[in-house]
Amino acid sequence: MGIRGDVRGWWERARELGASRPQAVDVGIALLVQAAMTMPFVVPRPPELEPATWPAYGLTTLTVLPLVWRRRAPFATLLAVMAASALYKLAVEGPGQPLPYTGLVVIYTIAAIAPSWQRLTALLLLAVAVPVSVWLNTRSARELTFSLFVFAAAYVFGRLTDARQRAHRVEAEQAAARERARIAREMHDILSHAVSLMVVQAEAGPVAVRAAPERAEAAFDAISATGRDAMAQLRRMLGVLRDGTEGDAPREPQPDLGGLPELVERVRASGLDVSYTTTGGVRALPSAVGATVHRIVQEALTNVVKHAGARTASVRLAHEDGVLEIVVTDDGRGPRRGAPEGSGGHGLVGIRERAAAHGGAAVNGPGPDGRGFEVRVELPVTSPAEVAR
């Protein structure tokens, strides 16, 4: 396991180096191909054959040199390799090669990164060049079949590489889109909740100053506390976004069920009479589910404060048979007439997305007896006993 991990780590570092310095990789490949093509020149030749010469070896280097530019100009590299190879075949009497190394590398590159017209042109050139090369060499069907096979294999591997890279890009784009949606939900929940409470308190402040100064002081204190809490949460989120890690962001816990009483109390301070009840032992939940429950209740109460014109609201959590039910109701004006059920801006959409992320579902509509508004969410959760173990 340790050796496998070391090999995997070495391979990942090599890939990172290749991505950051592609020119160095191309030079390395050219040197590797040159080393392979050097072998027939250092291995002793039969006495009946002419000895290998330095001019012949120099021409092999000329066929390899274009590979340094294979990614920047793949089709031009193919033409240069074909021209140098033809010169080697016609001008000197050098040792042959067991494989057309340079041609295979450049065909793989064209198949992997070149546009379609260059790929098609390269295939047409190969359809002419390979039979001509075989005719000048051995004129055997065996060599022709082998040459066509290895070039076709290089082309197929190149296309597979292109398909894999495209799939990786799509996955990366989808992951980025999911992360953007998650960040948008978090920022919407934080800002919408804080600003809504601050607006309600600020609007009530002038009235309280005239009628009950002590209530005005409490309202201003609530505005200050809500703003500080929102700023702390935003600083933590932005600190994580800045470096992609925790970095210097405050290491504060994610909101969970334990923060719901404080959330309800903060909303109650805005003038909305909110009750909070739990049944079925909903204390021990996975942290991710706890954070989701907190955000769902927060967004539902924010909608009540912003849109319902309600005097009372209730939050009820019930855990039974592995399902956590969250119900938030109010006695406000209810859904607008003519508005489709479920319409309500990004808040209700965010609630549904959060529920779906944990395999749950969210519905909303008129409250009991058709009065007010109700948000009902069901989440499959691990039982408290299983979490404790």
The yes-or-no verdict on residue 331 having pLDDT over 80 is yes
User: b/e string for 131-153 if b means 16 or more Cβ within 10 A?
Assistant: eebbeeeeeeeeebeebeebbee
Q: Please state the rounded mean pLDDT for residues 240-267.
A: 66
Higher pLDDT, 30 or 18: 30
Main-chain phi, psi angles of 315, to 5 degrees: -120, 125
According to DSSP, the residues that pair with 312 across neighbouring strands are 273
The Cα–Cα gap between 355 and 378 comes to: 7
Q: Identify which of 190-194, 231-235, 372-376 has the greatest average pLDDT.
A: 372-376
The yes-or-no verdict on residue 376 having pLDDT over 80 is yes
Give the distance from CA 357 to its chain's centroid: 16
The Cα–Cα gap between 116 and 75 comes to: 11
Q: Residue 94 — pLDDT band, cuts 50, 70, 90?
A: confident
pLDDT attached to residue 248: 44
pLDDT attached to residue 159: 94
The yes-or-no verdict on residue 62 having pLDDT over 80 is yes
pLDDT attached to residue 343: 44
- Please give the structure tokens belonging to residue 135: 């005719």
Q: Residue 177 — pLDDT band, cuts 50, 70, 90?
A: confident
> What residue type is assigned to position 57 of the chain?
Y
Higher pLDDT, 382 or 130: 130
Q: Residue 341 — pLDDT band, cuts 50, 70, 90?
A: very low
Residue in the block written with tokens 């039982």: 383
Angle between helices 54-64 and 22-42 (to 10 degrees): 150
Contact between 148 and 130 (Cβ < 8 Å): yes
Identify the three-state secondary structure at position 362.
strand
Percent of the chain with pLDDT over 90: 21
- Please give the structure tokens belonging to residue 283: 């204390």
- Please give the structure tokens belonging to residue 168: 């990786």
The Cα–Cα gap between 80 and 87 comes to: 11
The yes-or-no verdict on residue 54 having pLDDT over 80 is yes
The Cα–Cα gap between 42 and 182 comes to: 62
- Please give the structure tokens belonging to residue 140: 């055997």
Q: Please state the rounded mean pLDDT for residues 187-193.
A: 72
The yes-or-no verdict on residue 269 having pLDDT over 60 is yes
Distances (CA, A) of 331 to 197, 366, 368, 371: 18, 10, 9, 6
Domains of the chain: 2-139 (no CATH), 271-389 (3.30.565.10)
Higher pLDDT, 243 or 276: 276
Q: Please state the rounded mean pLDDT for residues 126-130.
A: 90
Main-chain phi, psi angles of 246, to 5 degrees: -60, -40
The yes-or-no verdict on residue 337 having pLDDT over 50 is no
| Residues 6+ positions from 138 with CB-CB distance below 8 Å | none
| Residues 6+ positions from 354 with CB-CB distance below 8 Å | 185, 292, 295, 296, 362
Q: Please state the rounded mean pLDDT for residues 109-121.
A: 94
The yes-or-no verdict on residue 231 having pLDDT over 70 is yes
pLDDT attached to residue 106: 94
